[in-house]
Amino acid sequence: MLLALLLSLSALPLALADVTTGIPDAAPPGFEEWESPIVLPAPAVTGQGDWAAAVAKARAFTAQLTLDEKINVTTGVDVLGRCVGNTGTIPRLGWKGFCLEDSPLGVRFADFASAFPAGINAAATWDLSLIQARGAAMGAEHKGKGVNVALGPMTNMGRVAAGGRNWEGFGADPFLSGAATAASITGYQSSGVIATVKHYIGNEQEHFRGGSESAQIYSSNIDDRTLHEVYSWPFAEAVKAGVGAVMCSYNKINQTQACQNSKLINGVLKEELGFQGFIMSDWAAMIDGVQPALAGLDMNMPGFVGYGIGDQNDPDPATATNSWWGAQIATMVANGSVPESRVDDMVTRILAAWYQLGQDADYPDVNFSQLTEETYLDGELVNEHVNVQADHYKVIREIGAASAILLKNTDGALPLSVKNIKRIAIMGSDAGPNPDGPNGCADRGCDQGTLAMGWGSGTANFPYLVDPLAAITAHIQSIDPTVVIEGILNDFNIASVQTSASLADTCLVFVNADSGEGYITVDGNAGDRTNITLWHGGEALIAAAAAVCANTIVVQHVVGPVLVESWIDNPNVTAVLHAGIPGQETGNALVDVLFSDGSQATNPSGRLPYTIAKERSDYPADVLYTSSMTTPQITYSEGLNIDYRWFDSQDITPRFEFGFGMSYTTFAYSGLSTRKVGNVRRAVQHQSTSAAHLTSASSVKASSSASKSASRTVSASASASTITASASISLSGSVSASGSISASGSASSNATSTASAPPAQSSAVNPVGGPAALYDTVLTVSFRVQNTGKLAGNEVSQLYLGFPAAAASPPKVLRGFARTLLGAGQGSEVTIELRQKDVSVWDVVSQEWAVAEGTFTVYVGSSSRAIHLQGTFEL
């Protein structure tokens, strides 16, 4: 067997050598401080908290397996299989393997499944019960199709407004994103599917994002405090919520590729956050085999080395050679570069998630195929057309309406009432269907017809798409079939638009802006948007209509912020509805918000999950579109001050601030009070460990200057004190050793003893989600909200904290919110709980969360700038 493996190793495709260039680079000049420390060994799963039973079962199962069987659990196989990811199986024990399937808004490539509102719309509701219901419905659909692991939620931060995949996530604030992520996971996993939080981490733009086939892979350079307080915050909430799986991203962080970044996987995810599940690579994100194994990666997806490299569909991971893992794992164990205990831990973690979600009992087999909506493929029954939609259209429509953000409304232009309309013009291609059909462009890679999701792997097929023109027409005609309704779907026939608009009493103009994943380019936009203005002449369309129609209502279906300066103050633009990308029920949801006389009339309460600036340059950061570097450097120099925090700290007036959104009614706030609950625990002890964790970049540099010849090679069995690290690849003079980590000090030494080394001490690992006290409530903030208008409506109250000056935090940070339904004239007491974590900062010296000392300011309002109540407290 070994001989066979070695032979197959020697037959490795040449391409494999070509793609190894991405092993941790030294930082280029000027970026020396941005390097990742090495954290070894990989903490073994401990089975703490409510994971005890699942981990025990997983350990027992793993103990029975041969190495080849273990390898099968860890490595994807059959890339052209039924799901976008398929692990190997264990026929001897009847273990059927995992089906892993996109996306964060539905079951990708499936028929008879729903197309949900995108993550960004879920976030725009600011309603955790709706977000959880969405997660539960999506989880049920995945399970119904036999999917074990759903590849969502996505919780990257939207650091740059034009970021192509921002719409898959929950907006530009870590607290909102974290809460939405946790609620989504609770929903997904309540149905029994394993949720996957992604992409870990710093995957904030599409240009140069990486992947094994990429010539250039950017490095997101993120300082330790910003990592904890912004980018990993939602991941921490995900772990606390019990997420079963994490996906590492394509890009590098501090020069080291995410899937082999031991500081981030071993150090932060598994030790600091006590993660008990498994972490998989993004699809062909791996750029090495040994490094990710030692850095804590547990699963290689989809198994092959890279897109377009070698055999894309080798059926058996244990013998496959076109993989960083598969058969390579056996070689790595045999030659001592990876301890078998690490492989055991990979398998135990994967199976633990499977047991934790109850998938060992009665879980449906895969009954669809990503490859076809036909019933048979090559004579084999692959699609049973199982209808998993149930009544999910209801929550889709409800979220569609609840996520609509009213940006402007002059003199009650909205809501509309059919009895007041004699003639309506509905203009713009965004009002109507895609002439090629709702799924006419692969992975939604075009912008034709109404926009209800972005493009790329974060999509699903529409089972149907209720376009706005059809829904509005049906609604009007159900009340008064004599209303004149003219729909003009050609964005560029300005003459028709003006003829129609000048005759109408009500003009609806539909515009949009699209983006997606970088493997598809639409109208010159390679994933990331090239601009943050409207597509196909939206501004000109609005101008044309508004020039002749004094009641022009703009509806925008957009993936993120869009500049509105050229038309927002036009007095003939009487109302603006920012509807995001609402999924299959988009037209119906819009009718609910636009009209007061619909069966499900809804008062808008959506709030912006990001800032709409007056100028693109007002944002703190932007997409890096061009670079000649092998590792383009993207330094997060704005630190904690992303989105509204930047506008606040720089005193820049946005057009519409984070958290903004209007209502058809009005609300008043009063009676702010705070109450301490229990005692703050000043020192939330981060449990110490024998692992070489949390070595700061500066100490890495210090040791490098002491020993010019030191390489960054460290031993898996080394203790913290024996780590030697060189910050500079050029000093070591050996490309193969630089920046890499190995299980033993040198290739020839002590392979056997290293391979049998015991797993990391369990005492090294924190409770799930981090020290438990972080999640204890320390303060409640109460206030009264009163509906002072004539219409029922939801008010989204927002709580921002101003930290004590010594904390050097942004002027204010979101730390709580509540969506409250209030009838006309009705009032209610709202109470928001603050956890210890919410009043803490990440102390980079002690490497723990520390409650800020001094006076906090609490701001309560209806947006990040409309603050109605203010008070102070100390802890």
Ligand X SMILES: *[C@@H]1O[C@H](CO)[C@@H](O)[C@H](O)[C@H]1NC(C)=O
For residue 385, is the peptide bond before it cis, meaning its omega torsion is within 30 degrees of 0? no
Token pair listed for 114: 């729903």
Contact characters 695-734, ligand X, x per CB under 6 A = --x-------------------------------------
Beta carbon nearer to ligand X, 32 or 833: 32
**Are 153 and 181 in contact, with CB atoms under 8 Å apart?**
yes
Stretch that binds ligand X, among 83-91, 413-421, 813-821, 862-870 (CB under 6 A): 83-91
Q: Which of 311, 360, 373, 384 binds ligand X (CB under 6 A)?
A: 384
Beta carbon nearer to ligand X, 88 or 463: 88
The Cα–Cα gap between 319 and 67 comes to 12
Please report, as residue ranges, which positions from 649 to 678 form the binding site for ligand X (by CB under 6 A): none
Strand partners, 861: 798, 867
Stretch that binds ligand X, among 176-184, 540-548, 579-587, 663-671 (CB under 6 A): 540-548
Q: What is the DSSP-derived secondary structure letter of residue 467?
A: -
- Please report whether residue 191 would count as binding ligand X according to CB under 6 A: no
Token pair listed for 461: 């097929």
Q: Which of 17, 361, 524, 730 binds ligand X (CB under 6 A)?
A: 524
Q: Which of 129, 531, 670, 709 binds ligand X (CB under 6 A)?
A: 531
Q: What is the DSSP-derived secondary structure letter of residue 370?
A: T
Beta carbon nearer to ligand X, 254 or 787: 254
Tokens 């609402």 belong to 582
φ/ψ of residue 281, rounded to 5: -80, 150
For the CB of residue 463, give the shortest distance to ligand X in the complex, in Å.
Answer: 17
Please report, as residue ranges, which positions from 354 to 373 form the binding site for ligand X (by CB under 6 A): 364-365, 367
Token pair listed for 524: 């010159």
Beta carbon nearer to ligand X, 123 or 697: 697
Instruction: Give me the active site residues, please.
Output: 282
- Please report whether residue 550 would count as binding ligand X according to CB under 6 A: yes
Please report, as residue ranges, which positions from 278 to 297 form the binding site for ligand X (by CB under 6 A): 289-290
φ/ψ of residue 491, rounded to 5: -65, -20
For the CB of residue 537, give the shortest distance to ligand X in the complex, in Å.
Answer: 7
CA distances from 28 to 255, 377, 614, 631 (A): 9, 50, 35, 9
Q: What is the DSSP-derived secondary structure letter of residue 301?
A: S
The Cα–Cα gap between 244 and 277 comes to 5
- Please report whether residue 333 would count as binding ligand X according to CB under 6 A: no
The Cα–Cα gap between 633 and 252 comes to 9
Q: Which of 8, 48, 190, 335 binds ligand X (CB under 6 A)?
A: 335
Q: According to DSSP H, which parts of 697-760 are helical?
A: 697-706, 729-732, 751-755
* Residue 851, amino acid: V
Beta carbon nearer to ligand X, 365 or 374: 365
* Residue 571, amino acid: P
Q: Which residues of 388-405 are buried (b: 16+ CB within 10 A; e: fewer)?
A: bbeebbebbbbbbbbbbb
**Are 604 and 405 in contact, with CB atoms under 8 Å apart?**
yes
Stretch that binds ligand X, among 32-40, 172-180, 238-246, 705-713 (CB under 6 A): 32-40
Could you count the other beta carbons within 10 Å of the beta carbon of residue 754? 21
- Please report whether residue 1 would count as binding ligand X according to CB under 6 A: no
Strand partners, 782: 673, 831
For the CB of residue 680, give the shortest distance to ligand X in the complex, in Å.
Answer: 26
For the CB of residue 112, give the shortest distance to ligand X in the complex, in Å.
Answer: 11
Beta carbon nearer to ligand X, 9 or 772: 9
Q: Which of 31, 42, 59, 68 binds ligand X (CB under 6 A)?
A: 68
- Please report whether residue 597 would count as binding ligand X according to CB under 6 A: no
Could you count the other beta carbons within 10 Å of the beta carbon of residue 24? 28
- Please report whether residue 88 would count as binding ligand X according to CB under 6 A: yes
**Are 658 and 173 in contact, with CB atoms under 8 Å apart?**
yes
Please report, as residue ranges, which positions from 566 to 595 form the binding site for ligand X (by CB under 6 A): 570-572
The Cα–Cα gap between 344 and 342 comes to 5
**Are 726 and 714 in contact, with CB atoms under 8 Å apart?**
no
For the CB of residue 867, give the shortest distance to ligand X in the complex, in Å.
Answer: 32
Contact characters 107-146, ligand X, x per CB under 6 A = -------------------------------------x-x
Sort 11 into a burial class: Cβ within 10 Å, 0-12 / 13-18 / 19+: exposed
Beta carbon nearer to ligand X, 37 or 169: 37
- Please report whether residue 224 would count as binding ligand X according to CB under 6 A: yes
List of residues contacting ligand X (CB under 6 A): 9, 33-34, 36-37, 68-69, 72, 77, 88-92, 97, 144, 146, 223-224, 227, 253-254, 263-264, 289-290, 315-316, 318, 328, 331-332, 335, 337, 364-365, 367, 384, 386, 523-525, 530-531, 533, 535-536, 546-550, 570-572, 697, 747, 749-750, 753
